Amino acid sequence: PKRSFPSVPLVKLGTSFTKVKEFLWRFASIPNVLELDHLTVSGDVTFGKGVTLKGTVIIIANHGERIDIPPGAILENKIVSGNLRILDH
């Protein structure tokens, strides 16, 4: 009842997410998808703890590259492609 959309989000995950062990390794915690309409993820992508996804989010890691969505990130109507790593120092 809290969703602003009448249906569940459409989620398309690439081949890196097909096995349960790989799927679980890629998510530090399940993202908040209460306001998500559509998610597409392809390639080597990981999600930090406490990530929020809203609207339409498309994340595509180039072949041989990796995208790490940092903990606490809020992605709303975004396309992320290429590679992205944010490291603590």
pTM (two decimals): 0.86
Q: Which residues contact 30 (CB under 8 A, 6 or more apart)?
A: none
CATH superfamily, with its number, for domain 10-81: Hexapeptide repeat proteins (2.160.10.10)
Q: pLDDT tens-digit profile of 20-58? A: 999 899 999 999 999 999 999 999 999 999 999 999 999
Q: What is the pLDDT of residue 49?
A: 96
Q: Are 39 and 11 in contact (CB under 8 A)?
A: yes
Burial of 86 from C-beta contacts in 10 A (0-12 / 13-18 / 19+): exposed
Q: Is the pLDDT of residue 86 over 70?
A: no
Q: Which residues contact 58 (CB under 8 A, 6 or more apart)?
A: 39, 40, 41, 78, 79, 80, 81
Q: What is the pLDDT of residue 89?
A: 52
